[in-house]
Amino acid sequence: MRIVWRCFVLCLLLFSMSTMAYAAALEEGDSGQDVAQVQAKLGALGYDAGPADGEFGSMTTAAVMAFQKDRGLDADGVVGSETYRALMGRDIPVSRDGSVTTVRNVLQTAMRFVGVPYVFGGNTPDGFDCSGFTRYVYARYGIGLPRMADEQYGLGRPVSKAHLRPGDLVFFTTYAEGVSHVGIYLGEGKFISATSSRGVAIDRLADGYWGPRYVGARRV
């Protein structure tokens, strides 16, 4: 009965991941044609976003914030669905490139290992530690991560908690000072990681144990 229940929960979570907020958002550090279109539109409306070169930098962020303030939107400098619709007059594309497919694959792969036991130094489905788990999952999709959690924290670019997206790496301090635990953000305040007490498990960022130990996040 427990096996049936676990399968049901996993199926429910996988379904929710397929329908959760994969809607695109453009923010500082992003690049591409969608960014260039946003920059051009901001410029046409009199907001100095810099050249329409497809690189979302600090000037673009400032221009977005100015536009958001003028329109009574939350002035966070991120072009989410509401800001994009107000600026461009249409809905934001759900997927700008292949990255959404990669994220979905990463999350679904990670979910398959729920319940795999914790093994210190483990980096295979026979047993994982936290960084071995993230490294194994991401490697399946051509994304190389260092072996240790604190080394993984040095990759990519920092992401604020308010702007977390599924697939971001989330980091915590646990048994040692500094970064000592890493997991994969699933969305809706949840993340998956290889825990020493329960093996690979899903937790909430804001729960009583993890909340105070949260250090930050990276997008790779």
| CATH code for the domain of 45 | 1.10.101.10
Is residue 158 included in any domain, yes or no?
Answer: yes
Do 74 and 173 lie in a common domain? no
Count of domains in the chain?
Answer: 2
Asked if 158 and 215 sit in the same domain, the reply is yes
Measuring CA to CA, which residue among 157, 168, 143, 216 is closest to residue 28? 157
The reply to whether 80 and 115 lie within a common domain is no
Q: From CA 2, how far away is CA 14, in angstroms rounded?
A: 18
Task: Verify that 64 and 136 share a domain, yes or no.
Answer: no
Give yes or no for a contact between 35 and 87, defined as CB atoms under 8 angstroms apart.
Answer: no
Task: State how far the Cα of 94 lies from the Cα of 48, in Å rounded to an integer.
Answer: 26
Predicted confidence (pLDDT) per residue in 58-112, tens digit? 999 999 999 999 999 999 998 988 999 999 999 887 544 446 678 888 999 999 9
Q: What number is the average pLDDT over the span 183-205? A: 96
Distance of CA 49 to the CA centre of its chain: 25
Distance CA 199, CA 193 (A): 8
Q: How far is CA 100 from CA 97, 121, 150, 181, 210, in A?
A: 7, 30, 26, 25, 27
Residues 6 or more apart whose CB falls under 8 angstroms from that of 50 comprise: 39, 57, 59, 60, 63
Structural domain span for residue 215: 99-219
pLDDT at 96: 44
| Residues 84, 144 within the same domain | no
